[in-house]
């Protein structure tokens, strides 16, 4: 099952805010945001792992 990561950037005041959605196949697995792509990706991965742990 292929995984994908989608990024979105917006400006909040004078700072960029990145949003990231981790996908497993065509299913959203986790979402995160942060001041860098790396922070957003880390949050999305953490949310995906938590979701997968809850689902068993």
pLDDT tens across the length of the chain (56 residues)? 556 777 888 988 888 999 999 988 888 999 999 999 999 999 999 999 999 899 87
pLDDT for the residue 3:
65
Looking at residue 26, its pLDDT comes to: 85
pTM to 2 decimals?
0.80
**SS3 per residue for the chain:** CCEEEEEEEEEECCEEEEEEEEEECCEEEEEEEECCHHHHHHHHHHHHHHHHHHHC
The full set of domains in the chain, from first to last, is 3-55 (3.30.160.20)
Q: What was the pLDDT predicted at 49?
A: 92
User: For residue 27, which of 54, 53, 51, 56 has the smallest C-alpha distance?
Assistant: 51
């Amino acid at each position: 099952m292929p995984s994908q990561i989608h990024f979105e950037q917006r400006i909040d005041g004078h700072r960029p805010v990145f949003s990231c959605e981790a996908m497993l196949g065509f299913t959203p697995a986790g979402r995160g945001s942060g001041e860098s792509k790396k922070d957003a990706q880390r949050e999305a991965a953490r949310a995906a792992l938590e979701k997968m742990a809850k689902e068993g």
